Amino acid sequence: MDTQTIHHLIQQGLPDATIDVHGADGVHFEAQVISAAFEGKMPLARHRMVYATLGELMGGAIHALALKTLTPAELQAQNK
């Protein structure tokens, strides 16, 4: 598995998202996903939305995925 494939799959499922994926060992990854679709959702629901884009790869080809999920407004507030 590679970061580009993960990025592509998340982008397909959350087309409005800005995504940054890192992971050098091919099984452990970190991703920051920024999407307006997360508005009003708790962190667990946001993570489930991202996991749904990856389907059966989670727990298989992708052993671990650490997520940071934000709305655009949250990112803007964080960067002030």
Question: Number of structural domains, the chain?
Answer: 1
Q: What is the CATH number of the domain that holds 7?
A: 3.30.300.90
Mean pLDDT by 10 residues, the chain (80 residues): 94 97 90 97 96 90 92 92
Nearest by Cα to 67 from 26, 1, 38: 38
In this prediction, residue 12 carries a pLDDT of 97
43: domain range? 3-78
Q: Judge residue 80's burial from the number of C-beta atoms within 10 Å of its C-beta, 0-12 exposed, 13-18 middle, 19 or more buried.
A: exposed
In this prediction, residue 20 carries a pLDDT of 97
